[in-house]
Homo-oligomer: A and B are copies of this chain.
């Protein structure tokens, strides 16, 4: 006869205090993400899953997070986030649930003159929560590396201008589907130049001259992106950050804007 193992998690805890979030962190897991041109794209995610825990229960049943994840294996896309959260609340008898999914996303990009194609990688993330009143909230994050050329350096120097790789982070909450690809296009259009994995000499000439003709402070970039997101429609709120890996300094410079849209 099987031994009955006691369920310590169900005991009453020493201190009856509600816990905001309890769960599992940094699970490496293969998922699929909707892709504007190729239907779905397989990738490898880092996933964290949390629920709330009422003061009267000592512990949550951590293994259930994995059982839920495994049920949807190979088919974890942004479309099932809400039902995943509902399952988490049900299986773990929780009042609220949260999930964070970070992953690299690949886009085939053409070099500006030669037209040669190559893959570019963008770190992305989906973040979703269901709260006590069953309100579902979701936002996504896209990190877009770009080139920014300093307007001050260009203006005051007889020739040349310092420029550098910048990471622009955009977080968007929207009720309707917005393609990752469209946000990347919007961001790249606001920087001195997009980045490419593969550039031939004629492309490098084009990128260099374009960047020199389009100098941007870190402040200019976040403002121009904010201006365009304000006009994008379908957005509830957004946050824009940009961090320049300054080529003349050993530290970075940074700017950010966070806004609630009236639309």
Q: Which residues of A contact B (CB under 8 A)?
A: 2, 5-9, 13-15, 17-30, 42-44, 48, 50, 53, 58-60, 62-63, 66-67, 70, 73, 104, 106, 116-121, 145, 147, 149, 151-153, 155-165, 193, 195-202, 204-205, 207-209, 211-212, 217-220, 222-224, 226-227, 243, 245-258
CB distance from A148 to the nearest CB of B (A): 8
Give the contacting residue for A25; candidates B14, B26, B197, B254; CB below 8 A.
B254
A-B contact pairs, 14 of them (CB 8 A): A8-B156, A9-B217, A15-B226, A18-B257, A20-B258, A22-B218, A22-B253, A22-B255, A66-B198, A67-B198, A157-B205, A161-B208, A197-B249, A207-B248
Copies in the complex: 4
Indicate whether A121 sits within 8 Å of B155 (C-beta atoms), given known contacts A44-B44, A248-B207: no
Q: State whether A165 touches B29 (Cβ < 8 A).
A: no
Complex Cα–Cα for A5 and B202 (A):
7
